[in-house]
Amino acid sequence: MIRLILFTIAGFLSLQISGQDKPAYRIFDANGNPISYSVMLDSLKTQADVILFGELHNNPIAHWLELELAKDLSASRNLTLGAEMIETDNQEALSLYLKDSIDYKQLSERARLWNNHKTDYQPLVTFAKQNKTDFIATNVPRRYAAQVHQHGLETLDSIAPEEKQWIAPLPIAFDADLPRYQEILKMMGDHGSPKLVMAQALKDATMAHSILQNRGENGLFLHFNGAFHSDFHEGILWYLKLQQPDLNYFTLSTVLQDELFNLDDEHLNRADFIIVVDADMTSTY
């Protein structure tokens, strides 16, 4: 009798605790069906050649999941990491750091690291260093993006031959009518221009080129980028498919919602997997 009472109390407490759960995030597939992290992981580790992890740059849940996903994928795949947040002409400094030839202070002096690098991206670099995993700086040097923003893609023809190694091969394909590029123009209003979209395309094309150049035979490349660069299977992914359409590409996107139990219609088909984070989540900056 006492044992029955104890089981009843334990069950009641369990229900109370469950009702008070406050999950920080949930994962949905493209159609809005909730799925577990383990289901997503199984799909990625068994099917993917390239994964584009679209993050919100100041979101701690996205940064934590990036690290956890890297750890879990590396357990069974030949993994290469890469990130928008480090530019191609900083690869030499990054590689020296990964080989213990320079320390973090020297890396921060030689490379143009983002202001939130130490808290949000250094854990990924540290993981790569500890596990002897390649980490690729994929983004175009910002001076070239600024140059294109001012003068258009044709201005890239005039840069020094030795500097062209840091950008996607010329000429760079460009489709101004892609919906996401059109959305940039709408968001920018009077400040938008075709050249602004060209600068975005230069970033996307260079990141795609960097990924394909460094994936390795039969390897898996896990790339970290702002969600806008891969949402709705455009941006980086458009350039990847243009160059190597036969590879298996997967995208993730991070979004904020007030409630986590249903995916808002605006996020349907945003990516293969959508990570919904509570809108009240603390930002890293």
pLDDT tens column, 96-136: 999 999 999 999 999 999 999 999 999 999 999 999 999 99
Token pair 């062209």 is found at 164
Element spanning 246, H or E: none
Dihedral of the alpha carbons of 57, 58, 60, 62, in degrees to the nearest 10: -30
Q: Is the pTM of this model over 0.75?
A: yes
Token pair 């100041």 is found at 58
Q: What's the CATH number of domain 26-278, 3.90.1150.10, 3.40.50.11550, 3.40.630.40, 3.40.605.10?
A: 3.40.50.11550
pLDDT tens column, 164-202: 999 999 999 999 899 989 988 887 766 667 899 999 999
pLDDT tens column, 81-92: 999 999 999 999
Token pair 């993050």 is found at 55
Whether 271 contacts 30, CB under 8 Å = yes
